[in-house]
Amino acid sequence: MASSRTITDTVHGTIRLEPLTQDLLETLEIQRLNSIRQLGLTYLVFPGANHSRLEHCLGVGYMAGAMARSLGLAEEERKLVQAAGLLHDVGHGPYSHTLEHVLSRELAVDHMHLTQRIITGDDDNVAPPDRAAFPDVPRIHEVLRKHAVSPESVAALIRGPSEKGGLFLDAASRKVDRRYLGQIIHSPMDADQIDYLLRDAHYTGATHGAIDVSRLLQTLELHRGQIAIDRKGLPALEGMLVARGLMYSSVYFHKTVRIAEQMIARAVERSGAPIAEVQKMVDHELLAWLMAQGGLQKEIALRLRYRKLYKRVVAYDRDELSDSARETLASFGRAEERRRAEDRIARRAGLEPGQVIVDVPLPELLVSEPRIAKTEVMVLDDGEARPFSKVSPLGRALQVRQVTDWVVMVAAPPGAVAAVRRAAASSLF
């Protein structure tokens, strides 16, 4: 068994790597994340955003352990949540969330479902030739069992507690509500969001992701099997949830970032390739594969390589749309209807199929970040627990705040903007 070692993390400083973490870091599933950018194509707008998904996973494991210690959890529980934090994103495909909606639509699963199956050994997103090249490297579920950690228990924490709670059996076979374990990994205030907001703000240079982590940790409490925060920590909780909203508006869903992501998503979607195979690729493999396909796929790969992106042609907020236009917009939730609209505009503008993008961000946002409108952390005040939205006006405002200033956007190559604008005006809705 490995001895304890340390690494220096950009955000959290010196992190001690315990034997379980060291062994998990040796797995192919984890090391694969070194070749996947945490923020996908965001580096095309924020040049510093080149950090990897592995860096984030290390940070989440560290932060999950810090939360467990602040809550006074048993060593066994701390070990469990640290492992879940480190492993929570092993199911990600190339460019992180960029292809998430394609995966969800084509396979009826999301990266969290894949992550759970990879942890338990029921699935593998390492390409077979790569796996065969290192036959002696154990898989995640084997490492966990070696350290007396249940892969099934780790996998159960990835999606957070269900609406019905998270009941576990204790040594005396009595049911105990331990929803707090899942909440450390996936909830309105979890280790995942704390790390990615801090890390992404650092690498993008955005000032919106500042969080008072020490105050959050000092005021964490357990209340009837759930994570709560003392009212003294309310300003820190407000700051975190506001930071989340601002980072989504200004960074994650920046219009140019969004266009770049939609370009590569359309290239994959229109390739007809098995999405399960694409999911096993890492960033550079996907770009090379697109180049080899020729046609639209090669064009988009070249545009991404040299940052010759499509431009926004027109965008509409919900209030700008008629009732009939809103009905049409709702139909774009079905990929085939959205593609018909894209191709109809492209034909009228004299472009090839795939060269017009119709972006409807909300459905995809809810796939990639289901927590975006969730703010209901319990706040304790003199022993009384109340939801955040009942204590802070910010809670109610954040639940209804829009992430983007458009509900539908059309994008196309720069030289075709005028023609596409005319075509969209007559045929989008």
Span 40-85, pLDDT tens digits? 999 999 999 999 999 999 999 999 999 999 999 999 999 999 999 9
Q: Is 16 exposed, middle or buried (0-12, 13-18, 19+ CB in 10 A)?
A: exposed
**Euclidean distance between CA atoms 189 and 215, whole angstroms:** 13
Q: Are 429 and 364 in contact (CB under 8 A)?
A: no
Range 25-51 average pLDDT = 97
- The tokens for 25 are 């870091």
31 contact partners, CB below 8 Å, separation of at least 6: 25, 54
pLDDT reading at 315 higher than 50: yes
Q: Which position has the token pair 């899942």?
A: 182
CA distances from 41 to 33, 79, 94, 192 (A): 15, 33, 10, 20
pLDDT tens-digit series, residues 122-169 = 999 999 999 999 999 999 999 999 999 999 999 999 988 764 445 453
Q: Which pLDDT score, from 0 to 100, does residue 421 have?
A: 97
**Euclidean distance between CA atoms 335 and 304, whole angstroms:** 23
Beta-sheet pairing, 226-230 with 378-381: parallel
Q: Is 272 exposed, middle or buried (0-12, 13-18, 19+ CB in 10 A)?
A: exposed
Any long-range contacts for 382-386 (C-beta under 8 Å, 24+ apart)?
385/223, 385/224, 385/228
Of the candidates 398, 128, 69, the residue with the CA atom closest to the CA atom of residue 247: 398
**Euclidean distance between CA atoms 315 and 100, whole angstroms:** 23
**Euclidean distance between CA atoms 264 and 409, whole angstroms:** 16
CATH code for residues 5-254+366-400: 1.10.3210.10
24 contact partners, CB below 8 Å, separation of at least 6: 30, 83, 86, 87, 140, 143, 144
- The tokens for 254 are 């920046």
Structural domain boundaries in the chain? 5-254+366-400, 310-360+407-429
